[in-house]
Amino acid sequence: MRSWRPRSGGRLVAPDGSTLSLKHDTSPLDEPWFTECRIRYSATPQAGEFGGRAFETGPVGTVDGHVAVLLEGSYIAEYEAQGGTFLLAATADRATGLVAWQGRWHEAYCWVNEPGATHVQMLSKFDRLTFVDTPAGLRVELPSGETYQRITANKHVPDIGFLQIVQAATAAAALPAWSGHRVRVGEVWRQLSDAKDASPTTVLVCASPTAVVSLQPRGGTEDAGLGFLTGLSTVSWT
């Protein structure tokens, strides 16, 4: 498996071209960024049938791991396009697959849950998307009639936990109505996760004027998580 690269620190150029910036007093924030993107169709015949589509992004090497560990399959085809390579992978029985576009620094990918899907059907998951890869992030330009509904940025912070970040406009309605604990970038609340298949876990939610950060403590304590959020000097998504 390829090693993760690049390590872009606290700055991410998101697939829609917006910029997410985190700054911390002591943490270098050098683990890689990953994103989950949901696309909404405009009022077209497709909207009534499907509603939209989704894909994820990560550093080069992400797809290798997914094919080997999650899919337990192998690559079945490669096609060069847009300055990169489309990668197609599937299980041995072709029941499930994965399609990806790989650039110099990043990859975009989505699952194909259509048994026996042809190469054309797999590639259609990325129909009319334009990929522009940069060290700071992978931009994915959408065709006319499609808009970004929600982008979630994910980052691991060693010894602290996992960060999930969304733009404030997409998460404001889910924030508590009461005031939270004040920190430099905004307010913090302690909530329980809504995981349906496991016991609820603690999530620390930090809201700035432009972004909402959810911290799931892993390997650390809630106090360490709060200490990390207190150390943030910038949380901005514009």
DSSP-assigned letter for residue 125:
G
**Between vectors from CA 56 to CA 19 and to CA 226, what angle results, nearest 5°?**
60
**49 CB-near residues (< 8 Å, 6+ apart):** none
Other Cβ atoms closer than 10 A to 233 = 12
Residues of the chain with pLDDT under 70: 1-8, 43-50, 195-198
What integer pLDDT is reported at residue 47 of this predicted model?
43
Distance in Å from the first CA to the final CA of the chain: 34
What integer pLDDT is reported at residue 77 of this predicted model?
98
What integer pLDDT is reported at residue 2 of this predicted model?
45
Strand partners for 55: 37
| Spatial contact of 78 and 90, defined as CB atoms under 8 Å apart | no
Other Cβ atoms closer than 10 A to 167 = 21
What integer pLDDT is reported at residue 221 of this predicted model?
87
What integer pLDDT is reported at residue 200 of this predicted model?
75
pTM, 2 dp: 0.90
pLDDT tens per residue, range 47-72:
444 578 999 999 999 999 999 999 99
